[in-house]
Structure 1
Amino acid sequence: MDNRVLFLGLFLFTLGGVNGFPMNDLIEKLPGQPNVTFRQFSGYIDVDENAGRSLFYYFVEAENDPMNRPLTIWLTGGPGCGSVGDGFLSVGPFITTANAHGLQRNLYSWIKASNLLFIDSPIGEGWSYSNTSSDHEVGDESTNKDLLTFILQWSEKYPNFKSRDLYLGGSSYAGHFIPNLANALLDYNKQSNNFKFNIKGLALGNPLLRNKLDTLAIYDFFWSRGMININLHQQILKECNGIDEDNYSNNATKWSKLCQEAMDKAELAAFVLSSINAAKTSHFDVLRASCNEKWEDLVLGKEVTKVSYEVDMCILFRADFYFNIPEVQKAFHGNRTNLGYQWKGCFEKSGLKYSDADKDIDMLPALKKILQQSIPITIFSGDQDAIVPTVGTLNHVNKLAKDMNLNLTKDEAWNHENKGGGWMYSYDNLLTLMTVKGANHHVTFSKPFEALFIFTNIVINRSH
């Protein structure tokens, strides 16, 4: 081979100009990772160079035939949780080993059906950052603007995926992030004379859609489960009324003193505790106790697990540890700002201040706009979640279907491999809500087998 040709090939490889992939973002191998055949990439996209604002991403190829598989963007909620770290306890290719010093394959990763792109958003989450302190005061609009800029630049970096079938998924506050991003991409399509995003569907897990009603639904959930008595439930209905599905305002609501006192009383009664904060930590999963193991045990290489009703509740804890290992951060090309605090999957000390007012925004109009363009939406809801309970989400979905004159075409149990998965409500095969038995606020973490089934058979197969 001509030496000049060899040099040119090495030069292009270094700069990232090989087959439409930025090879300088290629992850050679993560510490403790098993051998795999798919490729992984990670790095930064500068969304505002003047402000020094950058979003971190992690991209994983589908394990089979990636060039003919769709692309799925995954965002997690909070707002205050990083999506990249979330990928290692939900839909990504790996979960940590029991001692958190290595990785093992996630048997129910969504890479079985799609390429996956995780984005640490908003600014201040995971390894995303800004050199401008005011950038950490964010809300739905600024977050969505950064995400759109990111996607446009990422698509130039990965041109093979520009017009690929695209799915958008996420959990919790992604009930805001994902519909907003979908509408931004659809608006871009209307103005673009270049490529267009080929959005095929949305997948939302326990999404926050109408915050004030979702808050009231917590106490409906407690009463339906026998966690509070009817008198306390009726007191909350009386003192906290004024909001219903047909009378929702985006204006922030301040609960009255009597309403807040009744809510606090219900929290203590529901979990038989004397601390309201301790009670609220149980909202994530009312069936299982959280992991309360010690960080020092992982430092010593000990195995840390806590399996309750078939779910290892320490997976989140171990992921936090793994992402703090210096060799891991180096392999990811992450933490280029050398964080002055410990990396944490959620609610770390980055200075992030998210708009409280935006949390009360009604997301049904955004969902309606998407559905009007014949893009299906699938919502899956864990029935052990008291953060965004199924009872409230079902009310929102019914309201949305009614407003759009969508017919209830399926109202039935759904099963997977002869096991009851939950209940399905489908409206004209366009809007679907699936409850998931035994799942907590994070369905993809607590019931990954069922989540993969929903993604593969409902979200993807329905669009083909």
Structure 2
Amino acid sequence: MGVVGFFNAIYYFMFGGIIGYHLKDQIGVLPGQPNVNFRHFSGYIDVDPNAGRSYFYYFVEAENDPLNRPLTVWLNGGPGCSSVGDSFVGAGPFITTNNARGLKRNPHAWNRVSNMLFIDSPVGSGWSYSNTWSDYLAGDSSTNDDLVTFIRKWFERFPIFKYRELYLGGIGYAGHFVPNLAKTLLRENNETRKYEFNVKGIALSNPVLRLKLDLLAEHELYVSKGKSPNKLYQQVLKHCNGINEDNYSDDIIPWSKLCQLPMSKSLMVAFNVSSLSEAKKRQFDLRRTQCDGKIEDLNSGKEVTKIDDGVDMCLPLRTDFYFNIPEVQKTFRGNRTNSRFHWKGCFQQSGLNYSIFDKDMDMLPTLKEILLQSVPVTIFSGDEDGIIPMTGTLKHVKKLAKVMKLNLTRNETWLHEKEEGGWVYSYENNLLTFMSVKGANHHVPMSKPSEALFIFTNYVITPSMLIE
């Protein structure tokens, strides 16, 4: 155990339930929940009491030895998707039963190896809200300020975790949230000359890093898979030529109509639909078909599930249903404003209006600042994702490595349970790592949960295991 572990154990025994934890936020048993050997907590933290702006969170202890396990903050993207809700389709301890009225254990939950903190951010995501309508005009800066305030206040409630090894991770647009948060926490350490935030690494799944290039990569991907004709792709390149890999500008220049037209056509052709909105829904997964169940089916007591290539595509729908059960909301202590909005995992009608300018920001300089402080960055992407294509993200990683003159130290397939899991590129012995995940869609923890847990365990929180 060691000296540190011994004193942690004593502290936990004496103060864990008194000072180290905020027991008022402890959840008893969620409706339909199986018995577990760990505690979980949820509640609100007021990030701006004057404005009435509050963030909702869900915290889950590690299954074993939580005092000696790291703390991981997980953020969903969108912007506008609930991180708390996402925990029930990915990395969290539970997933819904087929009738969505109960829960079962997630065998690939990340709290097997880490304490997990899920935060609904920004306002308008999940149960986070504000009483000031201007707060719903959010952006990267305001969201980051709120997250920093939240982290500080959360540590006041759970001081036992304050100096724990801290990992920050997320999916999609969290490719902005997570690096911005990591950069700020590291800067505060340097400016105050105090080691307040023990940031040990960040993990990004299918992240938005350079959005305009990601959009172009979509159409390159469709051509490579034979889903869209090269003629349309050439039109996209011709009319959207303001952006390229070597010259990504933060100057916000909207796509011209001449550019948007072939993009829209290419997208609809790729998915063989006449509606652009329908095509965008299908980008989530290039291999599998969408869930065809409906909330009405669950209301009538039916079981709703659709297993396609080993993935239950109806899991997000059932999660939406479960989170709208009044007893669930009461047990979570969520929706304290008694909102009439139907809870949705993503993009509920909350009034969130996120800055379109921030979405196009280049995140490579921020990642560079993090890497320069020797904080490892692990990026993993599903190769069946049509929203943020793996091929585009790999180009960003290679660009970053080139700019920083990082040496490529690993370039090979990686194995999971004796089978190929994908490809791994590692720079400077795991300082910067990119991994493709074979057969995974935009949501790796949902579509390849075993592989996601393997990556998190072996490449994120224990990278020293892989140093050659």
TM-score of Structure 1 vs Structure 2, range by shorter chain: over 0.9
Count of residues in correspondence between the two structures:
449
Provide the rounded CA distance (Å) in 2 between the counterparts of 1:306 and 1:281.
17
Partner amino acid, structure 2, of 1:450: E
Aligned to 1:235: 235
Aligned to 2:218: 218
Following superposition, the deviation at residue 300 of structure 1 comes to: 2.1
User: Which deviations, in whole Å up to 9, do the C-alpha atoms of 1:425-456 show, x marking residues without a partner?
Assistant: 11112111100011111111111100000000
Aligned to 1:159: 159
What are the equivalent positions in structure 2 for 1:346-361 lying under 5 Å apart? 346-361=346-361
Aligned to 1:72: 72
Contact 2:39 2:61 in 1 (8 A): yes
Following superposition, the deviation at residue 203 of structure 1 comes to: 0.6
User: Which deviations, in whole Å up to 9, do the C-alpha atoms of 1:115-172 show, x marking residues without a partner?
Assistant: 0000000011111111111111100000000000000010111011111001001000
Aligned to 2:7: none
Following superposition, the deviation at residue 194 of structure 1 comes to: 5.4
Aligned to 1:437: 438
Q: Secondary structure at the match of 1:353?
A: coil
What are the equivalent positions in structure 2 for 1:92-171 lying under 5 Å apart? 92-171=92-171
Q: Secondary structure at the match of 1:47?
A: strand
Aligned to 1:298: 298
Provide the rounded CA distance (Å) in 1 between the counterparts of 2:74 and 2:365.
22
Aligned to 2:364: 364
Aligned to 2:52: 52
Following superposition, the deviation at residue 381 of structure 1 comes to: 0.2
Aligned to 2:182: 182
The answer to whether the aligner puts 1:459 opposite 2:460 as a matched pair is yes
Following superposition, the deviation at residue 393 of structure 1 comes to: 0.3
Partner amino acid, structure 2, of 1:30: L
Contact 1:41 1:60 in 2 (8 A): yes
Gaps in structure 2 of 5+ consecutive residues: 1-15
Cα RMSD (Å) of the superposition?
1.2
Provide the rounded CA distance (Å) in 2 between the counterparts of 1:323 and 1:28.
16
What are the equivalent positions in structure 2 for 1:166-315 lying under 5 Å apart? 166-192=166-192, 195-315=195-315
Aligned to 1:423: 423
Provide the rounded CA distance (Å) in 2 between the counterparts of 1:276 and 1:120.
29
Following superposition, the deviation at residue 256 of structure 1 comes to: 2.4
Partner amino acid, structure 2, of 1:128: S
Following superposition, the deviation at residue 387 of structure 1 comes to: 0.6
Provide the rounded CA distance (Å) in 1 between the counterparts of 2:464 and 2:325.
41
Which stretch of structure 1 is more off in the superposition, 142-151 or 242-251?
242-251
Following superposition, the deviation at residue 195 of structure 1 comes to: 5.0
Contact 2:306 2:314 in 1 (8 A): yes
Contact 1:162 1:195 in 2 (8 A): no
Provide the rounded CA distance (Å) in 1 between the counterparts of 2:260 and 2:464.
44
Provide the rounded CA distance (Å) in 1 between the counterparts of 2:328 and 2:360.
37
Partner amino acid, structure 1, of 2:28: E
User: Which deviations, in whole Å up to 9, do the C-alpha atoms of 1:300-350 show, x marking residues without a partner?
Assistant: 221100111100000000000000001101111111100121111110011
Contact 1:89 1:316 in 2 (8 A): yes
Gaps in structure 1 of 5+ consecutive residues: 1-15
Partner amino acid, structure 2, of 1:248: Y
User: Which deviations, in whole Å up to 9, do the C-alpha atoms of 1:208-231 show, x marking residues without a partner?
Assistant: 000110000000110111111222
Q: Secondary structure at the match of 1:182?
A: helix
Partner amino acid, structure 1, of 2:276: I
Contact 2:19 2:159 in 1 (8 A): no
Provide the rounded CA distance (Å) in 2 between the counterparts of 1:44 and 1:189.
26
Following superposition, the deviation at residue 19 of structure 1 comes to: 4.0
Contact 1:200 1:463 in 2 (8 A): no
Following superposition, the deviation at residue 257 of structure 1 comes to: 2.4
Q: Secondary structure at the match of 2:59?
A: strand
Q: Secondary structure at the match of 2:462?
A: helix
Following superposition, the deviation at residue 17 of structure 1 comes to: 6.8
TM-score by length of 2: 0.94
Partner amino acid, structure 1, of 2:407: N
Provide the rounded CA distance (Å) in 1 between the counterparts of 2:296 and 2:274.
28
Following superposition, the deviation at residue 193 of structure 1 comes to: 5.7
Following superposition, the deviation at residue 33 of structure 1 comes to: 0.2
Q: Secondary structure at the match of 1:354?
A: coil
Provide the rounded CA distance (Å) in 1 between the counterparts of 2:195 and 2:47.
20
Q: Secondary structure at the match of 1:250?
A: coil
Following superposition, the deviation at residue 242 of structure 1 comes to: 2.3
Following superposition, the deviation at residue 236 of structure 1 comes to: 1.7
Partner amino acid, structure 2, of 1:276: L
Partner amino acid, structure 2, of 1:392: G
Following superposition, the deviation at residue 74 of structure 1 comes to: 0.3
Following superposition, the deviation at residue 261 of structure 1 comes to: 1.6
Provide the rounded CA distance (Å) in 2 between the counterparts of 1:207 and 1:224.
21
Following superposition, the deviation at residue 463 of structure 1 comes to: 4.8
Aligned to 1:447: 448
Provide the rounded CA distance (Å) in 1 between the counterparts of 2:145 and 2:222.
38
Partner amino acid, structure 2, of 1:183: K
Q: Secondary structure at the match of 1:374?
A: coil
Partner amino acid, structure 2, of 1:458: Y
Q: Secondary structure at the match of 1:126?
A: coil
Following superposition, the deviation at residue 292 of structure 1 comes to: 2.3
Aligned to 1:407: 407
Aligned to 2:10: none
Contact 1:212 1:253 in 2 (8 A): no
Contact 1:201 1:463 in 2 (8 A): no
Partner amino acid, structure 1, of 2:406: L
Provide the rounded CA distance (Å) in 2 between the counterparts of 1:17 and 1:458.
32
1:193–1:394: structure 2 CA closer, same or farther, 3 Å change rule? Answer: closer
Which stretch of structure 1 is more off in the superposition, 343-352 or 234-243?
234-243
Provide the rounded CA distance (Å) in 1 between the counterparts of 2:420 and 2:339.
45
